[in-house]
Structure 1
Amino acid sequence: MQSAFYVTLSSQVALDKRLTTIAENVANASTIGFRATGVSFETALSKASATAFASTGSDYVSRASGSLVKTDNPFDVAIMGDAWLAIQTPQGVAYTRDGRLRMLETGEVQTLLGFPVLDAGNSPIVLDPTAGAPTIYRDGMIHQGDRQFGAIGLFEIDEAATLKRAENSAVIPSLPAAAVVNFAKNGIAQGHLENANVNAVAEIAKLITAHRAFESASAAFDMMDGAQRNAVRTLGGG
């Protein structure tokens, strides 16, 4: 009986975690550049009773690409391939697929949330504020008129790296990111943005399924708890 309690409780904890991540994905389905959170679960085997328990689950950030939408805004950029933009945040250099940029009166290029956009050498990008809108090429090179003003840095994150979430739909990898040098697979599309890689309809279906499973686990727990209480009262002669 005790093992059944623990198995049911472990499933409730796992399902609660799944519900939280799905709800976060649904809430950010319209957030530009957002990467969905997934949860991987493993079965833990009790050495004492050979009973299998559900683990609490490990979060991971999906690296799947979202769909592109054309905006024709010269300060909007979408990343093609598996690369990321580098931005400077209070937590250090972070990497994002949110390509909504702006140029300050000083010429500094920032994200809409105010984080400096970096070049391949991790230096802030500064344009000529009097030279008009830039032209940004696939390899990130920035031109204003006939002059080049550096390039937006594109970075690849090792597949083995774990990703910690940061502001601006960004991530901070556990391993160093490497600047892209081959633009055959990775590049920038000016005048476009990338939607979140969240399928809202699919996530809502998952939410309903997980919620029903959680309710079933809760009902099973309550039933076992009631049965144990009745057994205690019966055996205790109460």
Structure 2
Amino acid sequence: MDIRFDELKETLKSQERKLDVISNNLSNINSTGFKRELVFIELLKDKGKDLVSMKIVPDFREGPLEKTDNPLDFAISGRGLFAVIKSDGEERYTRNGHFKVDEEGFLVTPTGEKVLGKSGPINVSIDGLKPGKVEVSPFGRIYVDSEYIDDFKIVDFEDYSVLRKDREGFYYAGNRSGLREVEEPHIIQGTLEASNVNPVDEMIEMITLHRHFESTQKAIKTLDEQLRKTVNDVGKYKTA
């Protein structure tokens, strides 16, 4: 009897992980700049064992643009990500352009990461005091009280599948494969990019996944019952 418990077990684990990803997508319907994640599953053979290879990649299709009229809200139309720097000095990337000014006059994310320009962290204060009037051109040139200070550092990747996400939701690429700066980005001030999650698509995917999940569980139960029956039959034969 070809009992494929390993394959079924790996399939069940991958389905559970995919369900987690779909649930996370749905929970971020209203998260600015959020990109839904896709799960790709492949069945592999390794030394006669069935293994499931699973890869989670972001779907970088652009989300709807929503006008806010807040001068510190920015959206990227087309490819590219804002660059920010964390407190540990690590550079990260995001499509969420909802920024604010901190006590030192730096443009920062809602969680305090400094937003990067081509010359470093962007400071929009006047003489180190109060922040000035911020205006940004469609190509990302930043002006404070009509004086040019820097350009947004906008980066892009040849292959978005190399990107991974940290606990705070920022993207990074370990080897920075294909990383490049976008010379002429399209920046829209007073606008934010909404999540690209389509709740209908996610719910359909979840329903389909639940059906596969139930089928896999039934298959495991059937194999278990067949194995028990075989063991019992062998036991009866030996005692006969």
Q: TM-score, normalised by structure 2?
A: 0.88
1:65 aligns with 2:62: yes
1:132 Cα deviation (Å)?
3.5
Aligned length: 231
**Secondary structure of 1:38 counterpart:** strand
Q: Distance in 2 between matches of 1:220 and 1:152?
A: 54
> Which shifted more, 127-136 or 84-93?
127-136
Q: 1:96 to 1:25 in 2, by over 3 A?
A: same
Q: CA deviation at 1:104?
A: 2.1
Q: Give the letter aligned to residue 234 of structure 1.
A: D
Q: Deviations over 1:12-36 (max 9, x none)?
A: 1221121111111111121111111
Q: How far did residue 94 of structure 1 move?
A: 0.3
Equivalent position of 1:118 in the other structure:
116
Instruction: Show the counterpart of 2:149.
Output: 149
2: distance between equivalents of 1:54 and 1:22? 22
1:145, CA displacement in angstroms?
2.5
CA distance in 2, matches of 1:200, 1:160: 23
User: C-alpha separation between the residues in 1 aligned to 2:209 and 2:151?
Assistant: 45
The aligned amino acid for 2:138 is R
The code of the aligned residue for 1:171 comes to Y
Q: Does the residue aligned with 2:114 lie in a helix, a strand or coil?
A: coil
Cα 1:169–1:231 shift into 2, 3 Å: same
- Shift in alpha-carbon separation, 1:10–1:167, aligned structure 2, 3 A: closer
Match of 1:97 among 66, 74, 95: 95
Distance change >3 Å, CA 167–CA 139, structure 1 → 2: farther
The amino acid of 1:126's aligned partner reads N
Q: Is residue 168 of structure 2 the alignment partner of residue 171 of structure 1?
A: no
User: What amino acid does structure 2 have at the position aligned with 1:107?
Assistant: G
Tell me the distance in 1 between the aligned counterparts of 2:121 and 2:40: 37
Q: Over aligned residues, Cα RMSD in angstroms?
A: 2.1
Tell me, in whole angstroms, the C-alpha distance in 1 between the residues paired with 2:151 and 2:62: 23
Q: Give the distance between the partners of 1:99 and 1:167, measured in 2 at CA.
A: 18
Q: 2:105 aligns with which of 91, 96, 107?
A: 107
Cα distance in 2 for residues equivalent to 1:46 and 1:152: 47
Please tell me the residue identity of whatever aligns with 1:116.
K
Match of 1:33 in 2: 33
Distance in 1, matches of 2:160 and 2:168, equals 23
Q: Structure 2: how far apart are the matches of 1:126 and 1:218?
A: 57
Contact 1:85 1:155 in 2 (8 A): yes
Evaluate the alpha carbon distance shift between residue 160 and residue 168 of structure 1 in structure 2; reply closer, same or farther with a 3 A threshold. closer
SS at match of 2:130: coil
SS in 1 for 2:14: helix
CA contact (8 A) 1:157 1:173 kept: no
Distance apart, 1:173 and its partner CA:
1.5
- Post-superposition offset of 1:124: 0.5
> How far does residue 210 in structure 1 lie from its aligned partner after superposition?
0.6
Query: Could you tell me how far 1:202 is from its partner in structure 2?
Result: 0.6
**Secondary structure of the structure 2 residue equivalent to 1:58:** strand
Q: Unaligned 5+ residue runs, structure 2?
A: none
1:136 corresponds to which residue? 136
Which residue is 2:124 aligned to?
Answer: 127
Q: 1:142 deviation in Å?
A: 1.3
1:180 is aligned to 2:177: no
Say if 1:12 and 1:205 are closer, same or farther in 2 by CA, change over 3 A: same
Instruction: Give the AA of the match of 1:218.
Output: Q
2:78 to 81, 87, 101: 81
Structure 1 unaligned regions, length at least 5: none
- Give percent identity, aligned residues only: 27
Residue identity opposite 2:62 in structure 1: S
